[in-house]
Amino acid sequence: MSPGLYNQLNFFKTAGEVFARSTEEGMRYGHIMAEYSRLANIQDDETEQASMFAPFAGTEGYNPIAYIPYIVAAEIGHLLKLDFPGMLLLMRFFGLLAFTAVVAYAIAVTPALKWAFVLIAMLPVSLYNRTVLSADGAALSYAMAITALCFSAATRESAVGRVWGRSLWMTLCVLSKQPQITFVLLEARCRPPCSTGCQCCSRHSLANHGDPRLPASERC
């Protein structure tokens, strides 16, 4: 990143630590932003300065796939020459927009439990994860999308028509967070019903599993 952006990032990182220690002493956000304005006014022209590497502990275990909306927003912010606070807000807005769109797609695709998907998406922690720079928003959104697609495939006579779609979302889901490799097991429930007509392989078994509204003979 550019030296100017590095200095701004370091300023807010340090300011957060100072704010946490000095809140009881009267420190307020206005004081921090006033100090930041003074810092911005004295920065030199960066056109002749080379970019620098800035390690960020804790991110080395994550794939860039989870940060695609943030990367796009950062490039747009760079073209618009936004400062760090402006770029941060733009990145958060792009993340909220992108991951909410994925969740909406999951709700539209799933043939069952739509209200459960809506309630999960509207949980405070879900909203928070979609509005901060984190892989958690991507992990939850992609997990909901692949779950919805598997529900949809399990309730159709043929599940092979959209294998490429499930493969795409499964890849995004797994790359967003490695422990989500367990979602691959959902594909086992997407196969077409077997010729023996057994209850467990019924195309309705996943969506209607244990539904108390069904007669006992039709439950899995």
For the stretch 181-203, pLDDT in tens is 877 777 776 665 555 545 444 44
Identify which of 105, 154, 98 has the alpha carbon closest to the alpha carbon of residue 129. 98
Which pLDDT belongs to residue 179? 81
Backbone angles phi, psi at 206, to 5 degrees: -70, -45
Detail the DSSP E strand segments found in 26-160. Answer: none
Tokens of 20: 């946490």
Mean pLDDT of the chain: 75
Tokens of 3: 């030296």
Position 87 pLDDT exceeds 90: no
- With a CB cutoff of 8 Å and minimum separation 6, the contacts of 166 are 146, 149, 150, 153, 187, 190
End-to-end CA distance of the chain: 56
Which pLDDT belongs to residue 176? 85
Instruction: Quickly state the pLDDT bin for 25 (edges 50, 70, 90).
Output: low
> Do 193 and 173 touch, CB atoms closer than 8 A?
no
| Mean local confidence (pLDDT), 42-61 | 61
| Torsion from C-alpha of 211, 213, 214, 215, nearest 10 degrees | 120
At 104-119, the pLDDT tens digits run: 999 998 888 899 999 9
Tell me 52's DSSP state.
-
Q: Give the whole-angstrom CA distance, residue 149 versus residue 95.
A: 22
Identify which of 163, 138, 128 has the alpha carbon closest to the alpha carbon of residue 149. 163
